Structure 1
């Protein structure tokens, strides 16, 4: 087990510290050359999680908390939640700040060197109300965008995977935000532009969302935060691994058999499409009242012909001294139907011959299985407790009961699309420094 910062093995602390040291030196040099030394300041902070989970799931199924994370079917796992992060903030004068955040954590096999750099941006604040940022910023399109990787910042062991497991964390681009007070109400609006990487269930390379154009509006008063966001983006996938199957389906579409041609077209669209547009909508709520705290969020992603996902969760907890028992429920549903395996062999045998018809039937079976195993159709209950045993550290104990429906195992690795239940028991210590 390793917490790799790239595709190669690299001890997490050495790679992380080397990267942060270069950031510190470069930002310090900028401050010395172009800002008022009296106003300049440098701050280093960090966070981390050390977790251990026991996963009871069907043989070969790999549990993961996000789709960009490599999977494993091992029962005992220390790589699901464990991570170490560090952040550098350099104020180069009164209006400009440079920020870099790096995280060592379990990543997919296609992770690159720069994936460990979660944030790397310059922020300009012309006044107290406006903030302009450019570079690699957090994608502020969901409730936990600012602290998704900082376990100490939320109650549960991990963000609900039924919603957060599929969402990107960073945006390469720019955003502009304005905050203002109206009586006792704090308003905030943001416009964001850029691109991001996303995990792809059955592909060996990540997908990419390009030309992201989105906005967010939030309102906070008396401990109640309500926010909504919307975005439009183009999704591109590398279909190299699926190209032979797509070519074969294209040949079947050209046959003078309307039923087979239509089924081959449908299989091809669902197996792999690229360059299509998607719409993202989100509504989130969080409320803290005395010792009670609860949150809920809903996300809808429309990206036909590939996916039409609706995901939601709700959590509630109550603080009792240093302990906070909590419960949560998450659910994700894909409105794109599961694919039925077409029966081609009898229709194709007179045209292609029996051996070729058998190969076409095997192709149809494999494509349908691939598509169905990548659909996300699952729900889960969580019960747990958080113990704040130190002002900067907390222990969390959590049990998850996960129900995966037939043709709905896309959040897992190595899954075969059958219905299943899983149990995940987790103990994690989160800390900040």
Structure 2
């Protein structure tokens, strides 16, 4: 693992903190915090690999650490009563099959009033109910967010600006967030780049006692101009006169959106969390989907057993209309249909146990039963003929400091 430059990057905030510690009355107040997960994950098959979204390789029947493990560190420098600077670095297995570091947050926060804050830079994108602490395992009841839901938008941050307004009425608190910007991510290792332009998002969170309700909606235009396989299929369709089919698959300035609803309940010993999401796209190469999950947990002292069920299905056609299914162009049709059926169709049932053995650390055990349909589901690098169901087991220690 080539971690030396990455650890140096993550250690930079510590150096900053030490520099200011020499004279605490001079300069900003710096706060350092961190989080991490040390996990072992394995499945019961060698015919496909279980992975989180964006990972190039996953795990088969031999246990590995890379799927569910990460380490992050965050530094916040409070410059004065109205300005602060925040940076967060994250080490995980993402894009390639080696641990790598990324600058996940880097923003300036301006406090315009007691209710309104404005941030500029790289921030978390409010896609899901737990977007702000998606990578902080200790903050979540389950060992990992359900992959059926959390694989629908492969984007965690945005470079741009957002505004957060919080107000209270009665016993309720409403937090409203709007975000604008752009972002990009790599697909299939470094095989191609997905560029998201003109991202706009809204996030509304209503809290009342043990209840939390959320509504989120993001829209964007996206481009994939350097995918050799997609360009070959689209070019072939154009060459043989299937212009409409080519246009339906191309990814250039296509609009896409993701709308989600969430509900959380933390009442006495009961924990309930549920999300529902709908993805829409102008390109058949990013199929329309509907996904959801529901989790139920119950605290018994320091132990929390839990169960969750998750599902994802494709709403758009899984074949491209008007193409020949036999003859010399059948292979081209098969290639086009491959892109049209890229969405996962899958359900899962998971049971787990969380043990809070420390005030800042927990141990989690989770057993998942995944049932992919009409393809490999969320599994990657599948062998021909692969089908489920598949059992995945993981053990993890989460910590914060």
Q: TM-score, normalised by structure 2?
A: 0.89
Post-superposition CA distance 1:167-212 (Å, at most 9, x none): 2111111100110111111111111001223564698224122101
Q: CA deviation at 1:223?
A: 1.3
Of 37-46 and 317-326, more deviation after overlay is shown by 37-46
Give the Å deviation of 1:161.
0.7
Q: Cα distance, 1:368 vs. partner?
A: 2.6
Match runs of 1:252-267 below 5 Å: 252-253=240-241, 261=242, 265-266=244-245
Q: In structure 2, how many angstroms separate the alpha carbons of the residues matched to 1:274 and 1:343?
A: 27
Q: Distance in 2 between matches of 1:200 and 1:330?
A: 24
Aligned length: 391
Residue segments in structure 1 that go unaligned for 5+ positions in a row: 3-9, 254-260, 346-356
Q: 1:238 to 1:24 in 2, by over 3 A?
A: farther
| Cα separation, 2, equivalents of 1:174 and 1:27 | 26
After superposition, give the CA deviation of every residue in 1:380-413 in whole Å (9 maximum; x if it has no partner).
1110100111111100000000011114x35332
Show the counterpart of 1:121.
Answer: 107
2:211 counterpart residue number: 224
* Residues 350-429 of structure 1 mapped to structure 2, 5 A cutoff: 357=328, 360-372=329-341, 374-407=342-375, 409=376, 411-415=378-382, 419-429=387-397
More divergent stretch after superposition (36-45 vs 153-162) = 36-45
- SS of 2:238's equivalent? helix
Is 1:15 aligned with 2:1? no
- Distance, in Å, in 2 between the alignment partners of 1:107 and 1:119 is 16
Question: Which is helix-richer, 1 or 2?
Answer: 1
1:110–1:206 contact (8 Å) kept in structure 2: no
Equivalent residue number for residue 315 of structure 2: 335
CA drift of 1:104 comes to 0.6
**2: CA distance, partners of 1:201 / 1:173:** 26
Structure 1 match to 2:271: 293
Q: Is the 8 A contact 1:406 1:417 kept in 2?
A: no
Superposition pairs of residues 158-169 of structure 1, within 5 angstroms = 158-167=144-153, 168-169=155-156
Alpha carbons of structure 1 residues 228 and 39: separation in structure 2 relative to 1, 3 Å: farther
SS in 2 for 1:77: coil
Separation in structure 1 between the aligned mates of residue 188 and residue 307 of structure 2, nearest angstrom: 28
Moved over 4 A (4+): 23-29, 36-39, 110-113, 198-203, 416-419
Instruction: Give 2:141's match in structure 1, choosing from 135, 152, 155.
Output: 155
Matches of 1:371 and 1:202, distance apart in 2: 21
* Distance (Å, rounded) in 1 between the aligned partners of 2:385 and 2:258: 26
Runs of 5+ in structure 2 lacking a partner? none
> Would the alpha carbon gap of residues 273 and 205 (structure 1) be closer, same or farther in structure 2, given more than 3 Å must change?
same
Give the distance between the partners of 2:122 and 2:308, measured in 1 at CA: 31
Residue of structure 2 in register with 1:131 after alignment: 117
C-alpha distance in 1 between matches for 2:307 and 2:193: 33
How far apart are residue 86 of structure 1 and its match? 0.6
